[in-house]
Structure 1
């Protein structure tokens, strides 16, 4: 049996890039770990892969270009699974990180094309990919972990964030449902109530200092929430990707969270900014 398998979508930039790097350096990544890096930009993937290869821990790095805005997502998700080496893994970690902020405007001002595209990227794509990963690994690997990179917007409405919040809320719910379903499957197969073989976590990383925040400050209508984010940026109160990703890695290493739960960075990380 080889080491664990890590599949990270949206791996090449921002939070995904930082998370991938910290995972590769963590106690989760034992020798002979395999990393599947998924993103839209080939050059960014190559750059990340090259940086990971310089780490002292020998890793197998594979990257795959995937566009989750495509109308037919089945072949896109299948292409991700097709590059995974056929071998026995000690564990499988899937990180549903890829997503899109979309147009920041009120529901009454949204159009059908944008709505369909954002739901496809933020909901349908991770659902299709997760379904395929579970089908392939959940019954054969000792432990499968599915992590949804969530948001406070999944549990709280924000002005002009309706489409994004809808997608995040839907993602939280289908990940929660996976936890319930897979525990039921495990009991049916083994008649055992021992610890779950499939672990699920919804993790809200906080307002990160990334290109997404640039988009918020530049494109959001002139409403009070926009000014809040402008002020947070000016005052250095946005969350560093390294700080948030470190908390997520720690949660996974400790492995004591309630299965399927939603955990916010501010519940477990350094409390240095407001809970907006």
Structure 2
């Protein structure tokens, strides 16, 4: 069986990817704080399995316990191939340096940087041990390469993910794995609502994001998921590369 492990699968891009991959006959393992019953319904209609683990990934002990549970589950299955989508993330704190909330920074770095690294390390280790191909997709952002006031933590975290992806790919050159970062652009998700609610004092560009919503220029998570699926199926993927939605959305 083919399995995809998705963090933050209960909504947004995670939910859209789960449903799209189910349609292709891939079983889904979801890790998020809340359970989305429609994913089980989709899995049943597609003839695949869906297993959900409720977990706050900012909690180290809970994350470790969840990884152990995922391991125990998978080792009882006939695993042909694995995919890991490191999707869970947060944008806050949206604030200038000097006024950052330290606990919020700690949670952000844990969720946006530490967790993707730890999950990739764990699942890549399993894939190598079991000698099955792994597709590792780390969700990144155009913010990784931009200097945006109020986004120091978010930009730094995504830049770290880009470099982590490149180094991991370099290390695994002799393996049959696919390793990339995917930048989904500006999606119509809860994260965008948080961005639009920021104050102009904290986030200079907030009005630009409000205008994108007003003009209907946000991309749906379903469209982003479809482009990712087609990219992986149709393109000769260059391991370690950052793939950007807007470079492929007209093609797929």
Same-fold call, TM > 0.5?
Answer: yes
How many Å separate the matches in 2 of 1:80 and 1:219? Answer: 37
| Runs of 4+ residues deviating >4 angstroms | none
Write out aligned runs for 1:197-212 (5 A). Answer: 197-212=176-191
Deviation at 1:126, TM superposition (A): 1.4
Deviation at 1:255, TM superposition (A): 4.5
1:192 counterpart residue number: none
Q: CA RMSD in A?
A: 1.8
1:98 counterpart residue number: 88
Deviation at 1:249, TM superposition (A): 0.4
Could you state the TM-score of these two structures normalised by the residue count of structure 1? 0.84
Deviation at 1:83, TM superposition (A): 3.2
Write out aligned runs for 1:74-223 (5 A). Answer: 74-183=64-173, 186=174, 196-222=175-201, 223=203
User: Residues 251 and 266 of structure 1: is their aligned pair in 2 closer, same or farther, counting only changes over 3 Å?
Assistant: same
SS at structure 1 position matched to 2:161:
helix
Is the contact made by 2:7 and 2:85 (CA closer than 8 Å) also made in structure 1? yes
Find 1:246's aligned residue among 217, 226, 229.
Answer: 226
User: Residues 35 and 71 of structure 1: is their aligned pair in 2 closer, same or farther, counting only changes over 3 Å?
Assistant: closer
User: Residues 173 and 48 of structure 1: is their aligned pair in 2 closer, same or farther, counting only changes over 3 Å?
Assistant: same
The alignment covers a number of residue pairs equal to 249
Deviation at 1:78, TM superposition (A): 2.7
Find 2:48's aligned residue among 50, 59, 63.
Answer: 59
Could you state the TM-score of these two structures normalised by the residue count of structure 2? 0.92
How many Å separate the matches in 2 of 1:68 and 1:79? Answer: 14
1:22 counterpart residue number: 20
Is the contact made by 1:123 and 1:171 (CA closer than 8 Å) also made in structure 2? yes
2:214 counterpart residue number: 234
Deviation at 1:13, TM superposition (A): 0.5
- 1:70 aligned onto 2:59: yes
Is the contact made by 1:35 and 1:61 (CA closer than 8 Å) also made in structure 2? yes
Is the contact made by 1:90 and 1:142 (CA closer than 8 Å) also made in structure 2? yes
How many Å separate the matches in 1 of 2:200 and 2:73? Answer: 42
How many Å separate the matches in 1 of 2:9 and 2:197? Answer: 24
SS at structure 2 position matched to 1:63:
strand
Unaligned runs of 5+ in 1: 187-195, 272-276
How many Å separate the matches in 1 of 2:96 and 2:204? Answer: 14
How many Å separate the matches in 2 of 1:96 and 1:269? Answer: 21
